[in-house]
Structure 1
């Protein structure tokens, strides 16, 4: 849903007030008065916060690092990743006082001109999929974070990787659709995003969209509500490359299945490339129309399996290199032997070892790794549920489960909510969309919580202590049940 600039939305107004309050103490007073105070809200949607300033001079004063800080503050407040865009708009002065004193400019009824003054692209969000790299079109993940170069190849994924590389180098010419299946946390999403990255590198003129099935459904429902299904269908059917993640969530959704079937037929006839990921083979998807199941199987179906010990060690070394620290071989072997269920669990274990080392300035040794791994519970060894994680988080924090999944923005509560989301991602095999349903949020909120938790675990001792207390409470609960 979009919160328009003239709808009086409390969420939008509160967000901009919070943004200014945070920046007031971070920038010099003169800079605040000249660049931050004049900012006025335009609109807020799932991906972008649009702000306005009264002149081109005000806009040019905004430094890129200030914009990045604004995006970080807004994303943290909303608990999802958003981009901040600033445009020039005519304003009239109001006598209303701003929260911090002074007057604020109220927007005229006309929208700003974005033809030449927008700090970022002025392309309509509905068309962004055809204009920007896939990693930026969905979920806010960094462009270039997922590439074929940093995908670790082993016996468990070699065929899927080779098929993805070959198809991305000649999109639409072979393996369409390319259907990649496997359990959660094994790298399917990495392959899809890497596919999109490679297409954008080799064929910059081709339109390419990465989208989760949840996002596809959300956009389809919005199109129905606004009587714009034909326009939605046209946008999807004009793509050169369509990458759909977690297609298993289409089960039982007959309207979306009908729409997707016709879209796939059109793309196939036009020679476009389609890549799909799923947690099972096409035959394993429940409540799926047979004609769609046949279409999924028409190209090439490949799987990814849990990594073997050699691949797990290679993954750990690759991640350590990306984070920027040296991983001793004995510690690498220890983690690889202890954590064997999926890549996500491997990365979670390594990040916790690094966080402990970084926070307390300790060398990464076998003893330190043993201490960290002792508190870890592999999802493959015992069945851990999100409900259990929420219950133990509530017990440790003093909040109730209802409060943890509420819309409250109390700082301590928000941090415990993020910890519960992070542990749920690390200790269960649920997808982001599934986790979102447990917390009454969408998958982008969960993704943002995981990302910020990773950063805070390595930087803040108080956050790390809270995390460890919840993790150990879960461990104790499981031991008592044995």
Structure 2
């Protein structure tokens, strides 16, 4: 094999490793795919060398669909996949071979996106050690299994695409609530590093993780960037702790600083981890200096995450900060119609619009509704009716029910406005607390049917007339387009109200 072919095989191996990690997870990758030694092209065929027979058999029987889809992600459709036992190399002195194995292990750790190096299974390294000590070479190495990348081994039907991760802009619904964030994401997909870091924030179910998945996919496919790491802050923390106690920090730092792009979700879980936060700060500095792309996501802006630290929050806010609001009626309708049309359910769009108008703004709930509708359609040979749909979705479209209590409303308001849970029952009179308390009173009156007196008693021993004034004030603020103070920002009252209702309905 020439030098050019060897370099191409290394690139293909690294890209396929990244694609497999995204599909099967770090643990399964390390256990079964960690013994893949090399991948190379032979015409329209991708040949995958596996170090051990047992791992080859396991991949062939359990993970060929994942392997084929990973090849499609990297090479496109129409490429077949072959597995074969890796040919043995000539025996070398133990010392030289061990040094080479250490170098390969370190390189694999760098390619591995986010896997803690200390979790590598001893079995994965055992075959190469045995071969280095002069084990007899295997004879008659032939491809064990060859299956088209887009066809099942046991059927002529196409393999259905995995739907765990969004891989295309066609699956993203863009509207008023996420237009700025989607535009910024497209911008960095077109020109990586043009807005780094990009920080996406919003309550759960607003599409932050979906946008990050699309960005990661686009960077790999369009720009052929091999070292694109997408993970959560918890995974980053676990890998850091494992490196400190096990493999050492140099390997960890090479893994995360020598990247093409780093995407970290759920940043709000970093506070309280001083050493991890400090390492994250240095990692950000290194990647920004290299002109590479950083993307973060959290449930609130970086400067308002308690305990994050001014230095780290400032660096995360140093690029572009974009908010995502709960999905409005139009976006929920478009998303539900898109999901149902993709499954060819044949449900009238007006019925879907009515359903979307009676559910919360959480995108995950809308996706769950589409799954239920698919099951409902499969149960009946004739078109489903609106009554059948509302019956199967009764627990999700019970708008205005009395299932919410004072405590539920208090928790939702405090989480949305970034206040301590007991703030609404205190005597505090600051603008943030007063507005939050009035909003909670308004929602309590709307959703619980409790008397003004009971509401006032719960929220800080307020009088009957104070609750009446609060409900009228909130209704007027929403109608007049006034704003609420949340941290250092002013957010439209209607948007805050929708965020709280979204949190209530989605539990």
TM-score range, shorter chain: 0.5 to 0.7
Conserved in 2, the CA contact under 8 Å of 1:208 and 1:242?
Answer: yes
Question: 1:284 maps to which residue?
Answer: 304
* Aligned partners of 1:130 and 1:207 also within 8 Å: no
Tell me how far apart the structure 2 counterparts of residues 319 and 181 of structure 1 sit (CA, whole Å): 24
Instruction: Check conservation: 1:341, 1:380, Cα contact below 8 A.
Output: no
Give CA deviations for 1:384-442 in whole Å, capped at 9, x if unaligned. Answer: 9xxxxxxxxxxxxxxxxxxxxxxxxxxxxxxxxxxxxxxxxxxxxxxxxxxxxxxxxxx
Contact 2:271 2:306 in 1 (8 A): yes
The superposition leaves residues 445-474 of structure 1 with CA deviations (integer Å, 9 ceiling, x where unpaired) of xxxxxxxxxxxxxxxxxxxxxxxxxxxxxx
Inter-CA distance 371–207: structure 2 relative to 1 (3 Å threshold) = same
Which consecutive residues of structure 2, in runs of 5 or more, have no partner in the other structure? 1-25, 36-48, 68-81, 88-99, 101-105, 116-160, 406-503
Aligned to 1:419: none
Aligned match of 2:229 in 184, 203, 209?
Answer: 209
- 1:331 corresponding residue in structure 2: 351
CA distance in 2, matches of 1:306, 1:332: 18
Alignment of 1:178-197 (within 5 A): 178-197=198-217
Question: Could you say if the C-alpha distance between residues 220 and 130 of structure 1 is closer, same or farther in structure 2, counting changes exceeding 3 Å?
Answer: closer
- Compute the displacement of 1:307 (Å): 1.6
Give the match for residue 154 of structure 1. 175
Residue 65 (structure 1) shift: 6.6
Quickly say closer, same or farther: Cα 1:239–1:89, change in 2 above 3 A: closer
Q: 1:298 to 1:87 in 2, by over 3 A?
A: same
Distance 1:202 1:225, change over 3 A: same
- Whether 2:334 is the aligned partner of 1:314: answer yes
Larger radius of gyration: 2
Q: Per-residue displacement from partner, 1:260-308 (whole Å, max 9, x unpaired)?
A: 0000000011101101011001122111111001111111100111122
**Aligned to 1:261, which of 272, 281, 294?**
281
CA contact (8 A) 2:345 2:377 kept: no
**C-alpha contact 2:225 2:260 (8 A) present in aligned 1:** no
Q: TM-score, normalized by length of structure 2?
A: 0.51
Residue-pair matches, total: 290
**Which runs of 5 or more residues in structure 1 are unaligned?**
1-43, 72-84, 91-114, 116-121, 132-139, 385-477
Match of 2:331, SS state, is helix
Aligned to 1:358, what secondary structure does the other structure show? helix
Judged with a 3 Å threshold, the aligned counterparts in structure 2 of structure 1 residues 362 and 213 are, in CA distance, closer, same or farther, namely farther
Counterpart of 1:273? 293
Equivalent position SS for 2:221: helix
Tell whether the 8 Å contact from 2:192 to 2:292 is kept in structure 1 after alignment: yes
How far, CA to CA, are the matches of 1:238 and 1:246 in structure 2?
Answer: 22
Structure 1 242/61 Cα, relative in aligned 2: closer, same or farther at 3 Å?
Answer: closer
> RMSD over aligned Cα, in angstroms?
3.9
CA distance in 1, matches of 2:314, 2:224: 31
In 2, Cα distance between the equivalents of 1:248 and 1:326? Answer: 41
Question: Is 187-196 or 57-66 further displaced after alignment?
Answer: 57-66
Q: Residue 201 of structure 1: CA displacement?
A: 1.7
Matched residue SS, 2:171: coil
2:192 is aligned to 171
Per the normalisation by structure 1, the TM-score is 0.53
C-alpha contact (below 8 Å) 2:180/2:322 kept by paired residues:
yes
The residue that corresponds to 1:128 in the other structure is 112
Distance 1:281 1:199, change over 3 A: same
- Which of residues 23, 28, 32 is equivalent to 1:50? 32
Cα separation, partners in 2 of 1:291 and 1:141, compared to 1, 3 Å: farther
Superposed displacement of residue 190, structure 1: 0.5
> Aligned ranges for residues 313-462 of structure 1 at < 5 Å?
313-361=333-381, 363-376=383-396
Q: How many Å separate the matches in 1 of 2:212 and 2:66?
A: 30
* Cα contact 1:331–1:369 (8 A) shared by 2: no
Contact 1:313 1:333 in 2 (8 A): yes
CA distance in 2, matches of 1:45, 1:161: 32
Residue 383 to residue 221, structure 1, CA distance change in 2 (3 Å): farther
